[in-house]
Every structure is written in structure tokens, then in C-alpha cells.
């Protein structure tokens, strides 16, 4: 999906003045510490864990919990009318290695995304980006999308979908790369050259990461519901 084009509009009546006034009042009274902690905007691409042909531009709005863990809200675009489509958790290599092997399969590496230039911070000068991306290059992420905007869904339908990230050349569609380059005035090739000396995980990308090289599909299984005693 191109970030410059909406496939659908969200159904519903336009926001009423009374609703806007309530929002203004609550914004004055309440605190928003959880979202105010967000400190950076990253742009990258995800694909469905069972279908690499379905590639989605993903705008991450991230907050550090500490040096080893950050969490990101994911939108389909950076505009004020953007749709919240998913979330991602990002952990250091040290935390990732503590996970059971079955869990590691759900996490993707970030080394290729960073070193290839396809993960970038819109509007942020390269030297400033580099300080943080050198850390991101060593991390792993676990991401689910709840809204299949690439399918044209006007509402978040169906099951949450596990997503993966790019791991090598030739995976990202050229038109998606060219589109973000044009909209954000970046050169992915220039970024690749500038980041070629960055280092990934100290122990190399774990073989169980990135789906352990297999496609993973989210399915729903009907079971008996455990009742209260």
C-alpha cells in the first residue's frame, strides 16, 4: 500500500462539535503519560508472515521502557487521520536470547532493515538517526497487525496477523521503495552506503528468528470455554 493513497475511508458520521468539545475538555483535565512517552517516528515495511507478496508501509511511533525494551504503535501513514493498524515490541539481543525457541519464531531481526536503509526516521538528519539505528540494528521485533488496510478493509476485520520484516535484497517491491523515497526525500541506496559498517546481533541472527525460515499463519481454533468454578 502506498502511504500517499487511501484505499478506503473509515465508515461513520463526521465528528460532531459536541464530541470535539468533550475531547478538548478531557485533554485539558486528563494526563496522557503513556502516549506522551513516544519519542520517535520510524518508517519501515512489514509483510504478512504467511505471504511476502502482501507488503505494508508501517509508521512506528515508539517509546523506550528501558535500554532493552521499546514498544511502538503502528499507523498506516503519519497524517492526523492515520489508522492505528498494529503494534510492535522491540527487544535487545540479550532479552531475545532468553525467550523459548518456540517463541523466538514470532520475532524478526532488524539488521537488514537498518543496513539496507529501508528503515528510517522521516525528517531526522542522518547523524542523529545513526545513533539510535546502530542500536536497532542489533534488536528483534514482534509485530501484529489488526487492520488489513492492504486488502481494502474499511474496519479492522478478522484475526490479528503476525507480520515479518525484510531480511534480504529483492524482497521489497520497487514501487514501494520509490514511493517513500519520493515522499520523504531520502535515498535508500545512500543510506545503505552510510550504514554499511553497522553491526547486527553480536551472536549473529538467531536461526529461530524470522519464522525459522518458514511461513507462519494466525488461525482461530474453537475450544471449550473454561468456566468459573
pLDDT of residue 159: 96
Give the per-residue pLDDT at 109: 98
- Mean pLDDT of all residues in the chain? 92
Q: What is the pLDDT of residue 11?
A: 85
| Sign of the Cα pseudo-torsion (210, 137, 142, 9, in order) | negative
Query: What is the rounded distance in angstroms from the CA atom of residue 143 to the CA atom of residue 216?
Result: 13
Q: Mean pLDDT across the stretch 187-200?
A: 95
Averaged over 22-51, what is the pLDDT?
88
Give the pLDDT confidence score for residue 3 in this predicted structure: 43
Arithmetic mean of pLDDT, 65-93: 97
Residue 85: enclosing H or E segment and its boundaries?
strand 84-91
What is the predicted pLDDT for the residue at 2? 44
Collect all residues with Cβ–Cβ distance below 8 Å to 127 and sequence separation of at least 6. none
Measure CA 213 to chain center.
Answer: 20
Is residue 7 a contact partner of residue 81, using CB atoms and an 8 Å limit? no
Q: What is the pLDDT of residues 12-30, one digit of tens each?
A: 878 778 777 767 777 778 7
| Residue 216: count of CB within 10 angstroms of its CB | 17
Q: What is the mean pLDDT of residues 191-215?
A: 96
pLDDT (mean) for 141-162: 97
CA atoms of 191 and 125, how far apart (whole Å): 11
Q: Which helix (H) or strand (E) holds 62?
A: strand 51-66
**pLDDT of residue 4 exceeding 50:** no
Overall size of the chain counted in residues: 229
pLDDT for res 169: 96
What is the per-residue pLDDT across 104-137, written as a single tens digit (0 to 9) for each?
A: 999 999 999 999 999 999 999 988 999 999 999 9
Q: Which residues contact 138 (CB under 8 A, 6 or more apart)?
A: 92, 93, 110, 111, 199, 200, 201, 202
**212 Cβ contact partners less than 8 Å away, ≥ 6 residues apart:** 104, 105
> Which residues touch 2 (CB under 8 Å, ≥6 apart)?
57, 175, 176, 179
CA atoms of 59 and 122, how far apart (whole Å)? 10
Confidence of residue 63 (pLDDT cuts 50, 70, 90): very high
**pTM score of the predicted model:** 0.90
Higher-confidence residue of 170 and 12: namely 170
What pLDDT is stored for residue 32 in this prediction?
83
d(CA 86, CA 46): 11
* pLDDT for position 22: 67
Q: Would you call 51 helix, strand, or coil by DSSP?
A: strand
Which of the pair, 159 or 10, is modelled with greater confidence? Answer: 159
Amino acid at each position: 500500500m502506498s502511504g500517499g493513497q487511501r484505499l478506503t475511508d473509515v465508515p461513520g458520521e463526521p465528528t460532531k462539535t459536541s464530541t470535539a468539545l468533550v475531547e478538548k475538555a478531557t485533554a485539558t483535565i486528563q494526563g496522557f503519560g503513556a502516549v506522551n512517552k513516544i519519542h520517535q517516528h520510524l518508517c519501515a515495511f512489514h509483510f504478512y508472515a504467511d505471504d511476502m507478496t502482501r507488503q505494508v508501509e508501517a509508521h512506528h511511533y515508539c517509546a523506550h521502557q528501558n535500554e532493552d525494551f521499546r514498544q511502538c504503535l503502528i499507523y498506516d501513514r503519519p497524517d492526523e487521520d492515520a489508522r492505528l493498524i498494529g503494534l510492535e515490541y522491540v527487544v535487545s539481543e540479550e532479552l531475545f536470547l532468553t525467550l523459548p525457541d518456540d517463541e523466538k519464531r514470532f520475532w524478526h531481526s532488524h539488521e537488514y532493515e537498518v543496513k539496507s536503509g529501508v528503515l528510517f526516521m522521516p525528517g531526522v538528519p542522518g547523524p542523529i538517526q545513526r545513533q539510535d539505528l546502530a542500536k536497532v540494528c542489533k534488536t528483534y521485533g514482534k509485530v501484529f497487525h489488526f487492520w488489513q488496510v492492504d486488502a481494502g478493509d474499511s474496519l479492522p476485520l478478522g484475526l490479528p496477523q503476525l507480520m515479518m520484516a525484510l531480511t534480504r535484497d529483492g524482497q521489497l517491491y520497487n514501487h514501494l521503495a520509490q514511493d517513500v523515497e519520493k515522499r520523504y526525500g531520502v535515498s535508500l541506496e545512500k543510506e545503505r552506503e552510510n550504514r554499511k559498517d553497522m553491526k547486527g546481533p553480536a551472536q549473529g541472527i538467531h536461526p529461530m528468528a524470522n519464522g525459522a525460515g518458514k511461513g507462519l499463519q494466525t488461525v482461530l481454533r474453537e475450544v471449550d470455554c473454561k468456566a468459573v468454578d
